Chains A and B, each alone.
Chain A
């Protein structure tokens, strides 16, 4: 069964600090991995998308890494801002079943002043 596990479930950091969120997956066959940011009550917004051959991808202060051998990904947030407070969801796509998505449970990040 395809699964995506994220850790930690929740995280509180001070404004200006860095943090790293983790994602482990057992989706097969792997197509791509995305990180989404979701504000409460809003739809997810894509931060990065990586295929099998990509190890690192950045989007401003967000940097995602992918290790396809160990089936792990991380999202690093640099110099956090209050607006970074949100849920961060790791989503893995499989070539099977029309590239359907398997969602992780998300990490709820709170940035405090």
Chain B
């Protein structure tokens, strides 16, 4: 299995809602990432988990809360979001954070719209 899956594909939420994005991989990768991508822009790194521990938080607002319950799963909990948080949220995984061929495999993304 060389796939990263993300659910849901689309999500519409109000500013007072609480929702979660899910990401799963079964490639035995030990590093997992959350990116945010606005239209016509490259992905921006949000969080990095390495061996289920938060390794990097790129100064993301606390209304985004990541969670890595095990080596195959990565969640992003959303609360009190703003309309400007509407974007494509991408999950990625890699074997680890090190190595020349540390290729990141991306999921299909969740298209989030905040009303």
In the complex formed, the residue of B with least CB distance to A6 is B42
Q: When the two chains form their complex, are residues A98 and B48 in contact, meaning their CB atoms are under 8 A apart?
A: yes
Q: When the two chains form their complex, are residues B108 and A43 in contact, meaning their CB atoms are under 8 A apart?
A: yes
Residues of B within 8 A of A (CB): 4, 6, 40-43, 45, 48, 50, 55-56, 88, 90, 92, 97-109, 111
Closest 9 CB pairs of A and B: A103-B42, A43-B106, A98-B97, A99-B102, A43-B108, A44-B106, A43-B109, A51-B100, A43-B107
Given A32-B102, A51-B101, A98-B50, 14 more A-B residue pairs with CB atoms under 8 Å apart are A31-B100, A36-B106, A41-B109, A41-B111, A42-B108, A43-B106, A43-B107, A49-B103, A51-B100, A97-B56, A98-B55, A99-B99, A100-B45, A105-B41
